[in-house]
């Protein structure tokens, strides 16, 4: 039996992007559909509530000055990090929680507790560079989980990232 983990935390809704195309309605609509189809009652689905990633984990991909820049931007009320990435006061903590969710999915898969995972997380995280926000992404969740698994698990030497970005 294939076990699927669904990573979700209600704090993901606290990344307030206003009228931006990447907003909390994206997750709410998905959750509504999951509930309509009783996805969480399925015996092979595990709902996983993640913890925030540590700064050490974020630093596997991002430069310290950039992490600090994001934190300060959020502390000072939020705003635009680049031309299309906006943050609110809670976004820094939510971004740590998004990276933490990705890490937890990868870790549970490597440990064999799940076979695959669906990460219902935000802010999204695949366009951000080491020192820049890009394309609605604050931290690069997928790069962070890849580096984290390689660093922490002897049996993981490589991670293949197949990135299908459909808007």
Structure tokens at 42: 């399925």
Kindly state the number of chain residues that form the binding site for Zn ion, as judged by CB under 5 A: 2
Q: Is the dihedral of CA 40, 167, 10, 71 positive or negative?
A: positive
Closer to Zn ion by Cβ: residue 69 or 134: 134
Q: Does 165 contact Zn ion by CB under 5 A?
A: yes
For residue 82, the SS3 value is strand
The yes or no reply on residue 163 touching Zn ion (CB under 5 A) is no
Nearer to Zn ion, 69 or 126 (CB): 126
Segment interacting with Zn ion (CB under 5 A) among 23-31, 73-81, 91-99, 130-138: 130-138
Residue with tokens 């950039």: 66
> Binding of Zn ion at residue 154 (CB under 5 A)?
no
As a whole number of angstroms, the distance between CA 158 and CA 167 comes to: 28
Query: Active-site residue among 126, 127, 164, 167?
Result: 127
Sheet holding 45-48, edge to edge: 45-48, 4-7, 116-119
Catalytic, 127? Answer yes
CB of 35 to Zn ion, least distance (A): 26
* Span from 57-65, 78-86, 88-96, 127-135 in contact with Zn ion (CB under 5 A): 127-135
Q: What are the backbone angles phi and psi of residue 68, rounded to the nearest 5°? A: -65, -40
Shorter beta-carbon distance to Zn ion: residue 89 or 135 = 135
Partners of 33 in the beta sheet?
Answer: none
Q: Copy the structure tokens of residue 83.
A: 């031309």
Smallest distance, Zn ion to C-beta of residue 113, A = 29
Residues that bind Zn ion (CB under 5 A): 135, 165
Residues with a known catalytic role: 127
């Amino acid at each position: 039996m294939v076990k699927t983990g669904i990573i979700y935390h209600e704090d993901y809704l606290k990344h307030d992007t206003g009228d931006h195309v990447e907003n909390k309605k994206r997750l709410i609509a998905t959750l509504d559909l999951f509930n309509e189809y009783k996805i969480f009652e399925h015996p092979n689905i595990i709902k996983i509530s993640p913890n925030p990633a540590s700064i050490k984990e974020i630093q596997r991909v991002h430069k310290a000055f950039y992490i600090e820049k994001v934190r300060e931007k959020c502390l000072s009320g939020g705003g635009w990090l680049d031309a299309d990435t906006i943050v609110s006061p809670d976004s820094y903590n939510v971004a740590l929680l998004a990276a933490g969710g990705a890490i937890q999915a990868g870790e549970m898969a490597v440990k064999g507790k799940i076979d695959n995972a669906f990460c219902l997380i935000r802010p999204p995280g695949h366009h951000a560079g080491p020192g820049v926000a890009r394309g609605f992404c604050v931290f690069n969740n997928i790069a962070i989980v890849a580096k984290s698994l390689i660093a922490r698990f002897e049996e993981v030497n490589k991670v293949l990232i197949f990135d299908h970005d459909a808007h």
